[in-house]
């Protein structure tokens, strides 16, 4: 795989070339995903549930993210690697800079943080220090108790307008990518069109520039209740490699997510 950087992804948005992303947490899966052509990998704090067995992302630490980032980077040296800043690791500028530097030094190209306009001063400072930042709005798992569970966001006009406002403010503050999670497809389409930066969706319809899935969801090995926007690509494709190829092609062609997997 050619080396993927933020300019590559920006160019794809400009040309309306959709791209697939996936979470990974170790060397072996990262290598497999990269070999099959996945250009973007997220070391997500979803590892709190998928790897550590917690019921939320809250217990994940910066050291956890560092560890898994190093492993993924070794397996996938050319992918664009995003790593989450975990819960309460960026509550002020000093903490954000300190923790971001550790994760970037572990191999990440970009860090991802959850929240809206309350993060503007953090994003501005990180950007001033040449750190690539990905925003994350809509359903934000680090706020799950505050949101009273995993629910679709932006259903009312007031809530939708707030999400649009946050997206525009985050871009102005300096983010270079945005994740939209669990919002109506119509809303994500508007945001994707209004923003000049790449927008990745998860449970946000098929009009975003890219899509991301948690690898366990894509492979059909998630425990408990299956979320509406997740699809098991392994069940009909015979091997993990074929499942990844099918996912990539479905995203590129705008087939996934269809209405069945959207709100």
What is the rounded distance in angstroms from the CA atom of residue 213 to the CA atom of residue 22?
5
261 — pLDDT class (breaks 50, 70, 90):
confident
Q: What percent of the chain has pLDDT over 70?
A: 97
What is the rounded distance in angstroms from the CA atom of residue 158 to the CA atom of residue 163?
9
Q: What is the pLDDT of residues 50-84, one digit of tens each?
A: 999 999 999 999 999 999 999 999 999 999 999 99
- Collapsing DSSP states into helix, strand and coil, what is residue 215? helix
Q: What is the pLDDT of residues 208-250, one digit of tens each?
A: 999 999 999 999 998 766 777 889 999 999 999 999 999 999 9
Catalytic residue among 165, 181, 190, 193: 181
When computed from its CA atoms, the radius of gyration of the chain, rounded to whole angstroms, is: 17
Q: What is the pLDDT of residues 171-186, one digit of tens each?
A: 999 999 999 999 999 9
Which residues does 130 contact at the CB level (< 8 Å), separation at least 6? none
Q: What is the pLDDT of residues 23-38, one digit of tens each?
A: 999 999 999 999 999 9
The answer on pLDDT for 148 being more than 70 is no
Spatial CA neighbour of 247 closest among 175, 239, 62, 134: 239
The answer to whether residue 223 is catalytic is no
Q: What is the pLDDT of residues 116-127, one digit of tens each?
A: 999 999 999 999
- Collapsing DSSP states into helix, strand and coil, what is residue 208? coil
What is the rounded distance in angstroms from the CA atom of residue 18 to the CA atom of residue 15?
9
Architecture of domain 6-261: Alpha-Beta Barrel (3.20)
């Amino acid at each position: 795989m050619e080396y993927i950087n933020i300019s590559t992804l920006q160019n794809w948005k400009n040309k309306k070339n959709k791209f697939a992303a996936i979470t990974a947490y170790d060397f072996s899966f990262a290598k497999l995903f990269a070999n099959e052509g996945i250009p973007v990998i997220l070391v997500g704090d979803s590892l709190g549930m998928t790897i550590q067995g917690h019921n939320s992302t809250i217990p994940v630490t910066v050291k956890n993210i560092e560890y898994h980032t190093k492993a993924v980077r070794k397996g996938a040296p050319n992918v664009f690697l995003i790593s989450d800043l975990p819960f309460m690791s960026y509550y002020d500028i000093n903490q954000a800079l300190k923790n971001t530097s550790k994760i970037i030094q572990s191999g990440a190209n970009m860090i991802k943080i959850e929240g809206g306009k309350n993060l503007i001063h953090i994003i501005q400072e990180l950007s001033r220090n040449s750190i690539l930042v990905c925003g994350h709005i809509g359903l934000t798992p680090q706020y799950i108790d505050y949101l009273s569970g995993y629910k679709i966001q932006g259903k009312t006009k007031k809530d939708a307008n707030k999400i649009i406002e946050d997206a525009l403010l985050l871009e102005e503050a300096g983010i270079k990518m945005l994740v939209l999670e669990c919002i109506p497809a119509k809303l994500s389409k508007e945001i994707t069109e209004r923003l000049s930066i790449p927008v990745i969706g998860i449970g946000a319809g098929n009009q975003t520039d890219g899509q991301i899935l948690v690898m366990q969801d894509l492979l059909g090995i998630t425990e408990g209740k299956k979320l509406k926007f997740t699809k098991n690509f392994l069940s009909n494709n015979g091997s993990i490699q074929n499942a990844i190829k099918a996912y990539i092609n479905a995203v590129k062609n705008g087939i996934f997510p269809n209405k069945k997997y959207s709100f």
